[in-house]
Amino acid sequence: MPTETATPASPALTRRDVPGRRALVLMLHGGTETSTRPVDGRSASWRRSAAMQRAIGDTLHEAGVSTWLVGYRQRGWNGGAPVEDARWALDEVRRELGRLPVVLLGHSMGARTAVHVADDEDVVGVVGLAPWLPEGEPVGALAGKRLLAAHGRRDRITSPRATRAYVERAAKVAAEVDFVDMGPVGHYMFKRVRAWNELAARASLALL
């Protein structure tokens, strides 16, 4: 019989801290629409963001910026479950590090999570990579914040057209918005890996 694995009671954090930190990038990984399976080291979405965290860490650390990666309790969106996990992580940042400016760096479902928690008082902006932003997704949490969204034209998992539409709507409330066309690449950032990583680091630092 298959073994049932209990969902963790709280999210996990993979921390890469730098001495004398002046800011933090909180990374939010992707997922799926519905799944109660727990996130662990075998989760492909978490592993992609963990690889990016390692790749961009040195560049951010040289600028005095730490990186934390959230591991959600469940792999699915499940009506917004990762939003609670992201808010928990932002509270942990304040508890552990005090008040720091925070950029939310999210891939796919992580970007959707980010735009829901961008109203946190310490968040200065969102970098969304191949974001999952369905029609009608609210933009209110971005009021006064900055948003950069990047999408490949061959993405068949999430919609670059929907992302452009979201950015246009967000422009009505956000302090600044930008859309970056990543060219003929798909959703999972397997192609042009260096370009995705460089954009993630550069955009995060620019928002700070």
What's the whole-model pTM score?
A: 0.96
Domain extents in the chain: 12-207
Q: What is the pLDDT along the chain (208 residues), one digit of tens a residue?
A: 334 456 777 899 999 999 988 999 999 999 999 999 999 999 999 999 999 999 999 999 999 999 999 999 999 999 999 999 999 999 999 999 999 999 999 999 999 999 999 999 999 999 999 999 999 999 999 999 999 999 999 999 999 999 999 999 999 999 999 999 999 999 999 999 999 999 999 999 999 9
User: Residue 175 contacts by C-beta under 8 Å, 6 or more apart in sequence?
Assistant: 144, 145, 146
Looking at the domain 12-207, which fold is it? Rossmann fold (3.40.50)
What is d(CA 48, CA 29) in angstroms, rounded to the nearest whole number?
Answer: 8
Closest listed residue to residue 14, CA positions, set 58, 52, 62, 44? 52
Q: Which amino acid is at 163?
A: T
